[in-house]
Structure 1
Amino acid sequence: MQIEDIADGIHLVQGSAVNWIIVSDADGVTLIDAGYPGDHADVVASLRAVGHSLDDLRMILVTHAHVDHVGGIPALLERVPVPVRTSFEEARHARREYLQQATPALVARNIWRPGAAAWAAHVLARGGTRAVVVPTATGAADREPLAAPGAPVPFVVAGHTTGHTCYLLAEGKVVVTGDALCTGHMLSRRTGPQLLPAFFDHERDRAVASAETVLAGTGATIALPGHGPSYHGPIADAVAAALGGKPR
C-alpha cells in the first residue's frame, strides 16, 4: 500500500492492484471506493495512516460497482453504517439490480495478455470472485456538491459501466476518474494516461466518447485514477494521451 498526499485533506491510496481516495475536512472523512473484499484491512490502515479512524467516516462514494472498487464496502458498513452514494444509475448496479462486469469466461479468453495470469491469481486471492452487494447504495444528482467532507461533486462518465461516476474535489482542480481514465494496471506494460483493456468496458465506444467530451472538459489539473499513480497536468492532455494509445 502506498499513500500519495495530493492536497490538503486529499490522499490517493494505491492498494496492491486498485486505488481508493480519502478526503477529509473538519467534519470527518469521505472515502471514495474501497478496493477488493480482501483490501478491507488496508483500507482501515490507510485511514489510520492519514490520522483518522473508522469513527471519522461520514460517507462512502462509489465510482462504479465492480468488485475491485466496492468489495471492501460491506465490511466497512458492518462497523460504521454510513451512507453510500453514487449516480442514480450506478446505485442500481451497486444494489445488483443488474451486473456489468467481465465474466470468468471473458477473463479466460483474455488470459493471453501479458500479466493476465498474475492478475487473475491476485483477483482470486483478494476475493474478486465473491458476490458483493451494496443494498444501501443511493443515487446523487449530477453536478451537485454532496453534503460530505470535502464537498465532492459527482458527474457521470458513462461507458466503463452505464452509471460510472467521477468526482470533482478541491473546487474542481482535482478529479477522481475511477476506471474512466487510469495510469497503470497489472495488465498494462506501460504507465501514464490510458484506458483499460476494452474487455473491461461495458460499452467501449461510449467510454471513449465520454472521456473525450465529459472528462476532458472538466478543466481539472490533477487526476486520481482507479489504477496507477496520480496524474498532474491538464486533464484534457491526459485524455488525449490515453485515446492516442487506447488498447484493444
Structure 2
Amino acid sequence: MVTRLSDEVWWIELGGVNAYLVDDGGTLTLVDAGMPWHGGRVLDAVVDAEFALDDLDRVLVTHYDLDHVGGLARLDGLDLTIYAGRGDAPLVTGREAPPFSVPKGAFQRLVGPLVTPPETEVVPLVDGDEVGSFTAYETPGHTPGHVAYVSEELGLAALGDLVRESDGDLDTTPWVITDDTAAARESVARLAADAPGFEIAAPGHGVPFERGGRDRLAALAARFGQVREPARPPQ
C-alpha cells in the first residue's frame, strides 16, 4: 500500500516493515527495500505513485537486515545507485559476512541465504556525506553500521530501525533485536541534537509521523536522559 505523506514523500507499507519513496528535487529515491519477497511490491509502489520504473535513480539503505535489503536484488537491471553506511555496505554487497563478534551476527548469518546481493553498485557513506538533499548520519546501535538520512529541504528523516513507532509515539527497537542498546540510545540523542529540523519521521516499522518528527525524537532522547548539546563547528 502506498500513502502520500507530503508532496515529495510516499510511505510504502509492506506488512510489518516500511520503505519510502522520495522525489528529491527530481531524483527519485527509494529508502530501503523490504524482504526478498517484497521486491515486486516495491516496484508496483513506484508505479502506483505515478512514476515509471526507469525514473528510480537511487536507493538509500539504512542498514543490513533481511527486512531492509532483501528486495534490493529485484531492482537489478534498473539504472540506479545504492548507498549504504560504510559499516554495512560490505554486507549489502555480499563481499563480507556478518561477524560473529556482534550479537546480531549469528542471526544475520542464519538468514543470509535468503538474501541475494544486488548486482548494482553499492556506494559506502561516512558520517556527514551528502546524497542529493540528504545527509547521512551514522547511528549505530541496532546494527553497527546503521545510518539515518535527513533532508532539511524536504523536512524528512528516514530513521530505519534506529527507532520504531509504538502506540502512537517513537521508541527504540526491542533489545532482543538490537546489537547495542546503549549505543542506540546515544545515537537517538546525537541525531536529535545534530540533525536539522524535520517534520516527517519515517521509521522502518510502524506508522510514520507527518508532523513534529524532530520534537518526538528529542522527547525520546529526554526519556532516556540522553539530551545532548548540538555539535558546534570548529572556530
Superposition RMSD on alpha carbons, in Å? 2.7
Structure 1, unpaired ranges of 5+? 108-126, 185-189
Tell me, yes or no, if structure 1 residue 196 matches structure 2 residue 173. Answer: yes
Cα 1:242–1:4 shift into 2, 3 Å: farther
Partner of 1:94: 92
CA distance in 1 between counterparts of 2:223 and 2:206 reads 18
Partner of 2:134: 152
Q: Which has more helix, going by share of residues?
A: 1
> 1:228-239 counterparts in 2 under 5 A?
228-231=206-209, 232-239=211-218
Secondary structure of 1:51's counterpart equals: coil
Shift of residue 69, structure 1, vs aligned partner = 0.4
Partner of 1:226: 204
> 1:169-180 counterparts in 2 under 5 A?
169-171=151-153, 173-180=155-162
Shift of residue 81, structure 1, vs aligned partner = 4.3
CA distance in 2 between counterparts of 1:35 and 1:236 reads 27
CA distance in 2 between counterparts of 1:102 and 1:200 reads 11
Partner of 1:130: 114
Q: Please identify, of 5-14 and 38-47, the stretch whose mean Cα deviation from structure 2 is larger.
A: 5-14
CA distance in 2 between counterparts of 1:15 and 1:243 reads 31
Contact 1:90 1:165 in 2 (8 A): no
Partner of 2:11: 12
Contact 2:29 2:57 in 1 (8 A): yes
Shift of residue 102, structure 1, vs aligned partner = 6.5
Structure 2, unpaired ranges of 5+? 225-235
Contact 1:64 1:164 in 2 (8 A): yes
Contact 1:157 1:215 in 2 (8 A): no
Partner of 1:182: 164
Partner of 1:80: 78
Contact 2:46 2:53 in 1 (8 A): yes
Q: Deviations over 1:92-114 (max 9, x none)?
A: 23234132647559x9xxxxxxx
Query: How many residues get paired?
Result: 215
Contact 1:194 1:242 in 2 (8 A): no
Shift of residue 91, structure 1, vs aligned partner = 0.9
Q: Please identify, of 53-62 and 164-173, the stretch whose mean Cα deviation from structure 2 is larger.
A: 164-173
Shift of residue 180, structure 1, vs aligned partner = 0.2
Partner of 2:128: 143
Cα 1:10–1:242 shift into 2, 3 Å: same
Contact 2:165 2:203 in 1 (8 A): yes
CA distance in 1 between counterparts of 2:223 and 2:56 reads 39
CA distance in 2 between counterparts of 1:129 and 1:191 reads 35
Cα 1:91–1:161 shift into 2, 3 Å: same
CA distance in 2 between counterparts of 1:64 and 1:104 reads 15
CA distance in 2 between counterparts of 1:74 and 1:193 reads 30
> 1:105-116 counterparts in 2 under 5 A?
none
TM-score of the aligned structures, taking structure 2 as reference length: 0.80
- Percent identical among aligned pairs is 25
TM-score of the aligned structures, taking structure 1 as reference length: 0.76
